[in-house]
Chain A
Amino acid sequence: MRRTPASLAAADPGPAHTIEFDGRPIPALPGQSIAAALWAQGILAWRTTRIAGRPRGAFCGIGACYDCLATVDGQPNQRTCLLPADPGTVVTTQEGHGHADLA
């Protein structure tokens, strides 16, 4: 059987719950950050940059680089590597500064 991080750590989390990413349901394990839940689904980008519109996702994984920003429950510029993927969390790919609604 293929080794996984969960099998290495002998993790036995409760059943996955669901968060929403750009309108689609994504499973998340209790205790995972939003970024971790997205990585687990092979999703690596959830922001586009302000100037060139290029995709970005988690880089430093510890809250220092601010590359993993996304709009979470309507709030732009949230660090997804720090925020827990609580049941029902709604994550939206953030375009630019995330304040297009103010333009």
Chain B
Amino acid sequence: MPTSPDATGYDLAVIGAGPAGLAGAVAAADRGLRCALLDAGARPGGQYYRHPAPELRAARPDRLHHHWSTFIGLADRLAAHRQAGRIELLSGRHVFLLEAEQGGDAAGRSAWRLHVTTGERTGHLRAAAVLLATGAYERQLPFPGWTLPGVVTAGGAQAMLKAGLVLPGRRIVVAGSGPLLLAAAASLTAAGAQVPAVVEAGDYLGYARRPGVLAAVPGKLGEGVTHGVALARHAVRLRRASAVIEAHGTEQVTAVTVARLDADWRPVAGTERRIACDALAVGHGLVPQLELATELGAETRTVPDGTLALRVDARQRTTVPGLWAAGETCGVGGAELALAEGELAALAIAGEPAPSGALLARRRRLRGFAELMAAAHRPGAGWPGWLRPDTEVCRCEEVPAQRITEAVEELGATDARTVKLLTRAGMGWCQGRMCGPAVAALAGTLEPAADRRPLSCPVRLGDLAQLP
């Protein structure tokens, strides 16, 4: 297991080797900091730059990605820093607990202890500063039939394609909300799947309300146009203001029902239409993964898409001393923003006075676009209109909507935590990552509450008992 290279530990531990973490680690190492770069995955890149295992010998991984050359540039710098002993890449390691050491180190710097598991073994390492770049996971809203085999997350379909070169089916409906849907549909069609429809709950008109913000990020428009052209070439139909309100099948999905939504995402009766398919890729945007920071009391802010993100200052500092954050943990905004924020955090941690105006301007433009995007894809309050009493909401514990409604209406629960205690919804293996946003909405929670996960992944009791 990784242990600190010496008694003083690393100058910086970066948690997450996606765009933000990679950019942060190499920029910090450029300035002479000794870094540990930890990631739960087998290879650096995170979800965005997820790529085939080397044994699959893919000559053209770039065809699975946007901006692949950016990743190659970061990977080359990472390799040089690893060779020089400035970065230790610790793949396959999940940081399950982040602990501030009392009093800091001998030099008076803040000091951190990171508890790490490989699933088989646990250990810990120490660092003077921590950059949290843990990214995000997908937001799911339940609907009848969403637990059928063949129904997968949009990000999951992307991940399995990028890493394993496989598809869940041949005729795949893509549904939910957010820009990931267009990217997923473009990848799936490029890889040979037929995509009969992309079903987007938002109306995309939200983007038109702030033309100035859009004009400042021409690259983002270009991406949208690229996806649009690719989809048009494959005759993929984009259905806006619509949702998959049911997946059909007994042993696996064989069709979906799509309906129009009103402005609040309530299905409009009489607009249902059935589409045959053998897979459905679904997701409703992304949720920042924050628990390591919120367990330490880091302050959060509510993003226009209804999720919580860490509150950071102009130099990416969280409200916890010695803890920085970059990328999706500061609000979902995509890889380009994550790269800028990772670099800005590294500059601050390395003690550089003021970053370049160009870098700050890039962050401002991209953050502006991210907030616009978040508002355009915020789930409407009417989505529970497509639930039925027996629709499973919590996949792990198999808790139907009816039991959650009972907990709220008859037993008086007003938040997800109380619903969990009464129904077990959110108590299973995934720790509420799949059903959390839905349960909170059904409980009538208006403002999101920070996730409470003292440990960020399941850990064996024996390993916990041995924590130093």
Contacts and interface: CB of A to CB of B under 8 A. Distances in A.
B54 A31 contact: yes
A64 interface: yes
Contacts of A31: 52-56, 164
B148 to A, nearest CB: 8
Q: For the side of the interface on A, what is the size category?
A: 35 or more
A66 to B, nearest CB: 3
B318 interface: no
B57 A12 contact: yes
Given A60-B155, A65-B433, A36 B55 contact: no
A33 B64 contact: no
Given A11-B56, A30-B56, A39-B168, A65 B192 contact: no
A56 B156 contact: no
Contacts of A61: 152-153, 155-160
B320 interface: no
B60 A10 contact: yes
A2, A3, A5, A67 pick with most chain B CB within 10 angstroms:
A5
A45 B60 contact: no
B195 to A, nearest CB: 13
Contacts of A44: 149-150, 168, 252
A33 B52 contact: no
Interface-centre pick from B149, B164, B252, B429 (highest chain A CB count, 10 A): B164
| B63, B64, B160, B396 pick with most chain A CB within 10 angstroms | B160
B164 A32 contact: yes
Nearest to A85: B164
B52 A11 contact: yes
Given A45-B149, A58-B156, A65-B433, A36 B164 contact: yes
B156 A36 contact: no
B395 A13 contact: no
- Say whether chain B's binding surface is mostly helix, strand, loop, or mixed: loop
A13 B55 contact: yes
A49 B400 CA distance: 14
A55 interface: yes
B166 A55 contact: no
Given A8-B190, A9-B52, A62 B395 contact: no
B104 interface: no
- B54, B147, B433 interface centre (most CB from chain A within 10 Å): B147
B40 interface: yes
B187 to A, nearest CB: 9
B335 interface: no
B251 A55 contact: yes
B348 interface: no
Given A3-B192, A31-B54, A39-B168, A62 B149 contact: no
A11 B58 contact: yes
A26 to B, nearest CB: 13
A58 B191 contact: no
26 contacts: A5-B161, A5-B166, A6-B165, A8-B63, A8-B64, A10-B59, A11-B165, A13-B57, A29-B165, A31-B55, A31-B164, A32-B56, A33-B163, A33-B164, A36-B163, A39-B160, A54-B147, A55-B251, A59-B151, A59-B434, A61-B153, A61-B158, A62-B159, A64-B430, A67-B396, A69-B429
Q: Which 4 A-B pairs have the closest CB atoms?
A: A36-B164, A31-B53, A61-B156, A31-B55
